[in-house]
Structure 1
């Protein structure tokens, strides 16, 4: 094969320099397209890629040949050549035709799309055998329909053992090799998933809670606060790819908490398919803790994206606590008068959600503000499920009294190791 997946990097030791390209469709505000490119720049920075410039073009629909129009492509090409840029990143998936035509128009520059960028981040973050296998499978599934673009020439091969004969091209050979690898990876993943299923079945009599949310909202920080365990947390997208399970005990009520991979806009479908086993931790949880970064400009859109993903994996029928994190970073907004605008201040948002059907809480995990109230709300959900499984448990009367007093006296806590 002529090309394999490698981490994106410049040929020198310097950090790769990139321009970002997005299309603002006719029904989309330009500000939203700019926000999406900001997120793309954050994704790129996670891989150590420095963004030099952003290009946005307003179109009714992406150009059939090169995604952006000829004039915009010429503008991008002029800048790339003048500044010595080595990478162009598109904020959408490029079709096979797009990639092929762009390769013809732009030489000596790496052209990648959003899905490939996310796949590279997952490859970098994956630590466990399961996550590495899931990512590798997703990479080959991404590669297969785009394989034609990896070839600069298609020479005929001579026939040989195990080959179809002189009529088979190198491209056809590579497609067959990749299909074989996909088949092997699926078998390997199935074996790993069987072991994971056995571990989950051993936990059938334990209450399970799962942290879910958009990427980089603070799930791992909350996990660390609740479990008092060393859980990796970082201000980068997809800091968590492997699911982490911790055992937590509150007032003699034990439960398992899972920190899951963050969701994101336009998450590659190959990743959703490959990470099905990991997402099963969410599907099989008894309750969900949906963490939201309220300081983000588009936090309500993030809620919708997470809810849509939960719907896709059939995990919306569970008790859910909506946790608005990072209140310390929230900045009050100012809107023009006489316009229909969302709440502008944090207090207005709190009042808005008080009037909704959501079970929710506002806090700052990093500053440890509101964490006691978070523990009380989680305990209410966990204990409700726990006493349905163990109705005669000795701590039932004590905890009922504790809840009746508003959870005002301290809860006993202890934690276990990784599950």
Structure 2
């Protein structure tokens, strides 16, 4: 009986140890991933009284959707790839894809997107599958959206609204949430629906200013009130983003003042940018096999093999036909790419259309003025890709390297290519730095490129390449005969 408390405490300690071992690693983003998967949309919930069991009441159901597309150009494979991407977007937003349909047309119907005769067929599919939402693979005009909802009797969402919804789910930082809300409001402002004078605000019995009978009439309609409130909110968000943009510019100018080169990782969504950043810098950012898993940019400081310091920034992923509202809202974040010294363009080698991914990303880079930044193409996921496809990409893109961020194969080649493409300091010199000025030697190691170093009786004899500012600080220690400024 005397050993029971000891046995109990030992068992309790072992259980606590096992429970601690089962906790997710906070440095790898697993906690964020678990939190994101904790809740899903609950579709099909009704407010009417129904005889249902508690299990049925607590069951979380995904939104049931039917996909619709209009194939205007390209091959059948292009149309199927587009619909497959739309299905991934829908699943990322938290829905269950029941069916996918597309129609061959020269251009979408101006009234109903798909042909007017096809709307009835689409309505039958929606009724047969029990779908509650239709997602169109394109940006619908307000009239198209209204006409489809009136005829299909279910909610209709276009590609732009779908991407905005995904961004709203994944944004976590204050800047990211403000950018997403700004894009959503600009999108909604053009698509408000109302009933004109039926919802107008009328003057009361006694009106300020003495107006009475004859002074009461249609005032500001409900839709006008909504539009005014949206415009007020947009103005406030733009002021907030302007302030945050100033902070980001200050950080960039500080890096430029210290002459720290920057490398921006850009690419199609789910191409493996965050995995590559983790592999190169041990950043520990969230990695998920989902579209737009990364919205908030992450910057990490690292060094080259010869000791040069530079920064690596993970950016938001791009997608085909990225909504213009998002490009404008995220412009301050995307400027990280435009101001970089090198763009690491990551492409998914296992994707059915990697060339299409390259073209879509370069289109967005052109919109933000980053087309002149030097580019290094990184063909990722070579462990899962067809070797013939990888060889084709490497031959089409002369300045490219293959890599697998998951296995680590080819990471050394990526690092070597980055080191070769990073801008080198402009001034080459030889200086005899006194031992009392060890701070200058440290600056040379951090911001310059040391070619040779020797410790003498009079000080540290260093031969290095440095920037203009550091060269001026070292001017007093540069020997006349052996200094070489180039």
- After superposition, the Cα gap between the structure-2 partners of 1:225 and 1:156, relative to the gap in structure 1 and judged at 3 Å, is same
Counterpart-to-counterpart distance in 2, 1:17 and 1:309? 32
1:309 to 364, 380, 395: 364
Shift of 1:365: 1.2
SS of the residue corresponding to residue 378 of structure 1 reads helix
RMSD across aligned positions (CA): 2.4
2:129 to 76, 83, 101: 83
- After superposition, the Cα gap between the structure-2 partners of 1:295 and 1:173, relative to the gap in structure 1 and judged at 3 Å, is same
How many equivalent residue pairs? 373
1:280 to 335, 343, 354: 335
Match of 2:144 in 1: 98
Match of 1:238 in 2: 292
Counterpart-to-counterpart distance in 2, 1:35 and 1:116? 20
- After superposition, the Cα gap between the structure-2 partners of 1:152 and 1:24, relative to the gap in structure 1 and judged at 3 Å, is farther
1:24 to 71, 90, 102: 71
- After superposition, the Cα gap between the structure-2 partners of 1:155 and 1:299, relative to the gap in structure 1 and judged at 3 Å, is same
2:188 paired with 1:143: yes
Match of 2:106 in 1: 60
Aligned ranges 1:183-262 → 2 under 5 Å: 183-204=235-256, 205-251=259-305, 252-262=307-317
Counterpart-to-counterpart distance in 2, 1:184 and 1:145? 19
- After superposition, the Cα gap between the structure-2 partners of 1:144 and 1:391, relative to the gap in structure 1 and judged at 3 Å, is farther
Match of 2:229 in 1: 177
1:388 to 426, 429, 433: 426
TM-score (structure 1 length as normaliser): 0.84
Q: Is the 8 A contact 1:253 1:386 kept in 2?
A: no
- After superposition, the Cα gap between the structure-2 partners of 1:88 and 1:159, relative to the gap in structure 1 and judged at 3 Å, is same
- After superposition, the Cα gap between the structure-2 partners of 1:372 and 1:194, relative to the gap in structure 1 and judged at 3 Å, is same
Deviation string 1:108-145 (CA, Å, 9 cap, x unpaired) is x2210000000011111111100000000000000001
Match of 2:159 in 1: 114
Shift of 1:349: 4.4
Counterpart-to-counterpart distance in 1, 2:282 and 2:376? 20
Deviation string 1:337-391 (CA, Å, 9 cap, x unpaired) is xxxxxxx5544544x24xx5x3210111111111111111111222xx2423887
Counterpart-to-counterpart distance in 1, 2:389 and 2:240? 51
TM-score (structure 2 length as normaliser): 0.72
Shift of 1:197: 1.4
More displaced, 116-125 or 184-193? 184-193
Aligned ranges 1:333-348 → 2 under 5 Å: 344-348=388-392
Shift of 1:239: 0.8
Counterpart-to-counterpart distance in 2, 1:324 and 1:202? 32
Shift of 1:229: 2.1
Counterpart-to-counterpart distance in 1, 2:429 and 2:245? 32
Counterpart-to-counterpart distance in 1, 2:137 and 2:389? 31
Shift of 1:53: 0.4
Unaligned runs of 5+ residues in structure 1 are 1-6, 333-343, 400-419
Q: Is the 8 A contact 2:196 2:222 kept in 1?
A: no
- After superposition, the Cα gap between the structure-2 partners of 1:219 and 1:389, relative to the gap in structure 1 and judged at 3 Å, is farther
Counterpart-to-counterpart distance in 2, 1:309 and 1:389? 35
Q: Is the 8 A contact 1:8 1:120 kept in 2?
A: no
Shift of 1:259: 0.3
Match of 2:402 in 1: 362
Counterpart-to-counterpart distance in 2, 1:104 and 1:319? 50
2:206 paired with 1:168: no
Shift of 1:151: 6.2
Deviation string 1:224-259 (CA, Å, 9 cap, x unpaired) is 011112111111111111110001112321111100
Structure number with greater Rg is 2
Counterpart-to-counterpart distance in 2, 1:169 and 1:243? 41
Shift of 1:266: 0.9
